Every structure is written in C-alpha cells, then in structure tokens.
Copies of this chain bind each other. A is one copy, B any other.
Amino acid sequence: MTRSGADLALLLLGGYRSLVESVTAELAARGHADVRPVHDFAMRAIASGADTASELGRRLEVSKQAAAKTIAVLLERGYVRRGADPDDARRKRVEVTPLGWEVMHQGEALFDARRDEWAGRIGPERLAELERQLAELVGDAVVRPEAAGGAAQD
C-alpha cells in the first residue's frame, strides 16, 4: 500500500503537532498557559544574540514589525525585558528574563521527554534514522513555528 503525497505531508504535520501540543499542554498545566511555539522560538533567537527587533526579524525571517509584535507579547508576559542601547540611540536591546529562561528550559526538557517516548516506542535506532532521513530531505533551512501552532481547538 503506497501512501499519497498528501498523506505523507499530513503525517509529518501530525507528528509535529503531536509533539507541540503535548508540550504546550504540559507547560500550561505548570502555569505557563500562554506560551506558543513561536514565542519559545523567538526567545531562543533573542538569547542567542538577536536582541533587537530588527535583528530578530532578520533571524526569524519575518518583518521587523512582526518581530516587534512578538517582543511586545513577550514583554507583556514578563519573558523578556528591554532597555536602551548605549551605543545606538535608535535601538532597544532585549534580553530574556529568568522567567523566560525557566519557560525555555522546561519546554526543552518536555520536548526531550517526548522524543524519549518516541524512542521508546519505535526504538532509538529507528528514531535516529528517521531524523537523519528528514534532515537529508529537508536540509537546514530556517523553520519557524507558526503562531497557530496548536491543533484545531473547539
């Protein structure tokens, strides 16, 4: 039985969703109900040096306005803080707060736990093989989670 190409696409999406929903739900249960994949992704980029709206936009491959919006949300939720840039009066520097780091660490641990579960179900060798194949097929293009990263919600 050969699957259709569209089936394959939805299987991949389903796999992604399965992981993300599980992690998002657990983070919510731990009190972080407002964390979306794209927020986590943005925080990681900020933590790794994209600490202005413009740079974040470039890193995420979205407009600087979109990046600024994301920063605004993160600010509002206390995941990042912002201040002036001593070297350039136009810029504002952003950095991840301890709360932001906490959320990122928990998210990371939860994703790893989910991966471990998958490894337990199909075997670590086969999972590693799956990852290798995907990496080969997809390459290393920037893949940014989308805002509506969750499942259909009722």
Q: Which of B2, B5, B113 contacts A108 (CB 8 A)?
A: B5
Question: Are A14 and B122 in contact, with the CB atoms below 8 A?
Answer: no
**Are the CB atoms of A126 and B133 closer together than 8 Å?**
yes
* Chain A interface bracket (under 10, 10 to 19, 20 to 34, 35 or more): 35 or more
Report the Cα distance A134→B18, complex, angstroms.
11
The proximity string for A residues 76-109 relative to B, scoring 1 for CB distances below 8 Å and 0 otherwise, is 0000000000000000000000000000000110
A107-129: which have CB < 8 Å to B? Answer: 107-108, 110-116, 118, 121-122, 126-129
Inter-chain contact A113/B11, CB cutoff 8 Å: no
The distance from the CB of A6 to the nearest CB of chain B, in whole angstroms, is 4
Q: How far is the CB of A78 from chain B (nearest CB, A)?
A: 22
